[in-house]
Amino acid sequence: MKDVTFGQYYPKDSFVHRMDARIKILASIAYIVGVFLVQSFHFLGFAACFLFVLITTITAKVPFLKVLKSIKAIMFFIILSAILQLFFNSDGEVLLDLSFIKITDLGLLNAAFIIVRISLVVLGASLLTLTTSPVELADGIESLLYPLKFIKFPVHEFALIMSIALRFIPTLLDETDRIIKAQKARGADFESGNIFKRAKALIPVLIPLLISSFRRADELADAMDARCYSGSKNRTKYKKMKLTWRDLIGTILVAGLIVGVVYLNNFYVLLTVAL
């Protein structure tokens, strides 16, 4: 449970932490677009994206191992995607033929491509949550979605829901960890047996977790009501969001990444034609 870093905030006084939340959200979206701009089997673009993540992590003073834990949390999904590409891709030269399974060179390349792409996307998303507090994220989302207020979209309420969801991810994970330890102390076994037995063993964990979630939601609602919370009506902000020189530099660097990925794509195409 401690391997899930998405939604966890790592407080530090760094260049990235001091950037405006709106710019960081837009930069994360642009980074993900850059990752998906990388053409098939073109790993130079992925190398540029990884270098960007590495430099950002160092600048943010966040331990790189903490960022890598976000990949470990979705390892099952990554492996499943790679297996689907590996075993169900019949194009290319056959490397292994077992009558019911054919592994080709293109299948291997596709599996590696999917693994790297998903990993880079998760690394970028985890960096956003590690360097931006839930309150800043909510304010940034609300500010970016402000034009939707003209069509009567509840922007503030939507941002509040996102903030609460991100805020309670670490809390629920800690609660789940405590429940599992308590059940193990009572003799529960979560590690032996097949997948169906393990899923059945999780029922004593899910029920108290669900009850705890409803209790926390009820306590939060009472706390908000006691503070006379009334949604976006006549609501002001203690901290005003404003752009600084850091945001300009961050925007230029992300734009440089996009341009670099496009250039490397064109370079890869020209190199392939020349060869």
Cβ partners under 8 Å of residue 205, min gap 6: 176, 179, 180, 183
Buried b (16+ CB within 10 A) or exposed e, 19-39: bbbbbbbbbbebbbebbebbe
128, 86, 78: which is closest to 108 by C-alpha?
Answer: 86
Mean pLDDT calculated for residue range 86-99: 69
Question: Quick one: which of 168, 150, 110, 132 has its CA closest to 60?
Answer: 132
Q: Of 48 and 99, which is predicted with more confidence?
A: 48
Instruction: Provide the percentage of residues in the chain whose pLDDT is more than 70.
Output: 84
Q: Among 118, 53, 109, which residue's Cα sits nearest to residue 79?
A: 118
Give CA–CA dist 142/154, Å, rounded: 10
Buried b (16+ CB within 10 A) or exposed e, 218-249: eeeeeeeeeeeeeeeeeeeeeeeeeeeeebee
The predicted pLDDT at position 249 comes to 92
DSSP structural state of residue 102 = E
Q: How confident is the model at residue 255, as a pLDDT?
A: 92
The span from the CA of 47 to the CA of 267, in Å, is: 14
List, for residues 186-241, the tens digit of each pLDDT value.
777 777 766 677 777 777 788 888 888 888 888 888 888 888 777 766 666 777 78
Report residue 151's pLDDT band, with 50, 70 and 90 as the boundaries.
Answer: confident
pLDDT digits (tens, 9 = 90+) for 28-82: 999 999 888 887 667 788 888 899 999 999 999 988 888 888 787 777 788 888 8
Q: What is the predicted pLDDT for the residue at 234?
A: 65
Q: What are residue 104's DSSP bridge partners?
A: 94
The torsion angle over the Cα atoms of residues 246, 252, 10 and 75, rounded to 10 degrees, is 180
The whole-number average pLDDT for the span 260-266 is 82
Average pLDDT score over residue span 160-184: 80
Burial class (CB in 10 A: 0-12, 13-18, 19+), 80: exposed
